[in-house]
Amino acid sequence: MKRAFSLALLLAVACGGDRRETPAGAGAPSGSSNKAITIKGSDTMVILGQRFAEEYMKNNPGVVIHVNGGGSGTGIAALINGTVDLAQSSRPMKDGEKADVEKKRNAQLNETPVALDALAVFVNESNKVHALTLDQLAQIYTGKITNWTQVGGADAQIVLYGRENSSGTYEYFKEHVLAKADFAPRTQTLQGTAAVINAVSRDVNGIGYGGIAYAQGVRPIGVKKDAGSPAVEPTEANVANGTYPVARYLYFYWISTASPQLQQFVQWATSPDGQKMVENVGYFPLPEKTRTSTQ
């Protein structure tokens, strides 16, 4: 028995040794003495943040960036509590939250839009419905319209998919589409926009909403301001010129006492290089005027 035990111990030590020899194989900076930049917040933006971090670390060896999701509210709460350096948010911060940050952290708060996002409404690719008015959307998501025939589709029950109540996407949709009314209880809340898309892509009667970057395998539909106006597709041009009614900025929030590394990173994110990543991920780059106004 003793032998077996020492064998196990040996194995553990061997594994440990092995590990220490190969951190270079991880293709990642390890053991850097710099304090890491921690990013947390919006699930809509976590993939953007991850790509930013990946690209930025490739070009700036020595800088280490952690990225975490959890929802815009989580990121903002963490910024207030001082557990992150940078909060990603898919909604603008509320005044109360801004005051909280400045009071608790005793520093000025900076808001930097980094990308433009259209909150697209998705249906399954086989769905006949191609456009909905804002009012129809609100009625669908509050549970007043329950069948696709009521909006010109096939005779089938509408299956609602949405986001967890901590997400900025949830709050944005609630505020701008539902006019602050509650979501129907039948809305299935999923952990990420990708999960919503995945569900709608498998569900012929499904409808979901989320950031445009994720739209793969589903069809974003046109949105009309009201019954008389034309349907607007969530394209870059329509979002940039303001005709698409459910579009928003995605933000970085950070405090002015942050490290120079963080400030450089934020600057890079809004630079042409960073904006290329925005397009890569599938969001829309900032219009020229916003880009300059934030610098």
Partner 1 sequence: MTSVDLDTTLTRRIASRSRRRFGEIVWVELLGLSIVLILAILGVIVADVVIHGAGHVTWTFISESPRQGLTEGGIYPAIIGTTFLVLLMTAAAVPLGVATAVYLHEYTPPERPKQAWKRFRAAEGPDRRKLFGTVLLSLLAKVTRSAVANLAGVPSIVFGLFGLGFFIQFVGRAMDAATQPAGQILWGQGNLLWAALTLALLTLPTVIVATEEALRTVPPELRAASIALGATRWETIRRIVLPGALPGILTGAILAISRGAGEVAPLLFTGAAYYLPFLPEALSSQFMHLGYHVLILSTQSPDVEATKPVLYGTVFVLLVLTFLLNLTGVLIRARTRSKLRAGG
Partner 2 sequence: MNDRRKVDLTRGVKGRFIRDRLMTVVFTGAGWFAILFIALIFVFTFREALPIFTDPEVSKEANLHEFFVKRVEGETIEQQFVWQPVGEVPKFSFIPLILGTLKATFVGLLFACPIGVAAALFSSEFAPPKLREWIKPTIELLAGIPSVVLGFFALLVLASWLQNTFGFTYRLNAWNAGLALGIALLPVVFTISEDGMSSVPRHYREGSLALGASRFQTAWKVVLPAALPAVFASFVLAFGRAIGETMILLMAGGNAAITSFSLSDPLRTLSATIAAELGEVVFGDPHYSALFFMGTLLFVLTFVSNSAGQWVIGRMQRRMQGES
Residue ranges binding partner 1 (CB under 8 A): 1, 4-5, 12, 15, 19, 22-23, 25-32, 43, 46-47, 50-51, 53-54, 57, 64-70, 78, 81-83, 104-106, 190-192, 194-195, 197-198, 201, 213-214, 216-217, 281
37: helix, strand or coil: strand
Helix axes of 168-176 and 72-81: crossing angle, nearest 10 degrees: 120
**8 Å CB contact between 282 and 117:** no
Closest distance to partner 1 from the beta carbon of 38 (Å): 8
For the chain, the 3-state helix, strand and coil shares in percent, each to the nearest 5, are: 45, 20, 35
**Phi/psi zone of residue 134: left (φ > 0), alpha (ψ -120 to 50 degrees), beta?**
alpha
In the numeric block, which tokens belong to residue 219?
């069809």
**Partner residues linked to 160 by β-bridges:** 207
Quickly count: other Cβ atoms within 10 Å of residue 262's Cβ: 21
Window of 13-21, 44-52, 73-81, 211-219 that interacts with partner 2 by CB under 8 A:
73-81
203 binds, among partner 2, partner 1, none (CB under 5 to 8 A by kind): partner 2
12 binds, among partner 2, partner 1, none (CB under 5 to 8 A by kind): partner 1
Indicate the residue among 44 and 238 with the shorter CB distance to partner 1: 44
Closest distance to partner 1 from the beta carbon of 288 (Å): 27
Closest distance to partner 1 from the beta carbon of 122 (Å): 13
Q: Does 183 bind partner 2 (CB under 8 A)?
A: yes
Q: Does 83 bind partner 2 (CB under 8 A)?
A: no
